[in-house]
Structure 1
Amino acid sequence: MLLEMARRGEIDPWNIDVIDVTDRFLKKLEDAKNLDLRISGRVLLYAAILIRMKAETITLESVETTDEGEEDETPSFLIDDVEFDDGILEVLKSQRRRIRKITTLVDLIRELRKAEEVERRRKKRKVVERDIVKKTLVIFKEENLEDIISKVEREVLRILRSKKSISFYSLVRGKSVGKILDYYVSLLHLAFRRKVELNQREVYGDLEVKLP
């Protein structure tokens, strides 16, 4: 859609204004929605990312230090269609310098695709985690899951009495695959019960385990 807008002369591909492009992009989507035209999930995701980029651009350009920029102007038709993850917002915040340097359509598309890749990995990780839990429940069928959770909880709490946090890799180092699954599932249950807090700073990175 962005390339089409450039071909029609609606935007200048060599002098991109993120705010103007976002407004024009959203207007195109709203028109398509009103005509009951099919809109792909990728286009909807790009729209959500552009809104965040617009907010970041406004914040960067704002002279008022007390003004955090405009409130999110997410169109109502996007709220139901897009599950926008805060992880992308964090990526965009870390890319503020690059957002400031967006001047061409190529720059903009490159940043959109980077944010899209973060979202793709997040969804893939969620699917993998769900599969692991399902498979592990089968393994635990003949065992008492609560006993395993209690053992892991006692060990983790003992360690956290002397240090603020411990990495998952350190916790399971040298253990068999079966034991690693025991610890992983137990920690998920403990986090759900608010007995521990799990943090992951990057996709596929190590888990940090600490008290809530």
Structure 2
Amino acid sequence: MSKKEIQDRIYNLLMSEEEITWKSILYNAIKSEEMDPWDIDVSKLSARFLETIKAMKELNLNLPAKLIFASAILLRIKSRKLLKDDINALDQLLTSPETDEFYEELQQEYRAMKYPSQDTGVKLVPRTPQPRRRKVSIFDLVKALDKALEVKHRRPFKPDTFRKVEVPKKKIDISKLIEKVYSKIESMFKETEQVKFSQILPSKKKADVIYTFISLLHLANSRKINIEQLKHFGDITITKARAALEQPTKEKIEI
């Protein structure tokens, strides 16, 4: 079905219905696809339903949460191939030990459809379809979706959890720290031509090592000093930069 045909179908729905619901979209899809209401192709019907939802979003129409949730249910049912086996499989799933797993997946599916720009990591893995034991009617599907939506209201979604980020207790003025490190190195250069990184560390605490190393990198990048490490995880040797050797007078560091 072309994009224009889908849009025309939406306009027809808007003109004929006071409110577009998931049921009206399903019934309209049955009519437009000329399906037998007593023997529907759930896979094809789901595809048409999702095409309509996508087109509605492109037209900037406001989508009710229930409409998006119904889309997620159809997509999840389709991926599990439940209705290819028997409509009762969905009823069994809603009351089986797998219920929690189903709704966990459904919650992810709902978020993926509501926030398409966010990567949720959800991947649909089609299950191997089993032989159909009986025909599935549109009334069976509507009843199953009604039941699933009812369960959804009884099982509120878990709130999104965000990783807590600890705010540093003590703020560091990196500019002052760089000046302090450089001043210490210059002072040691008066007695020796080479200084070791381990010699300028205030302590072996992780924070001191990291901040001193950052200061050292900045000074080297500013060509105030030269640094060299002969082996991995070995001590770093600090020497005067060529510019510093040619100009012994102390100059202010540009941060």
TM over 0.5: no
Q: Which has the higher contact order (CA 8 A, sep 6+)?
A: 1
**TM bin (shorter chain):** 0.3 to 0.5
TM-score by length of 2: 0.33
* Greater fraction helix: 1
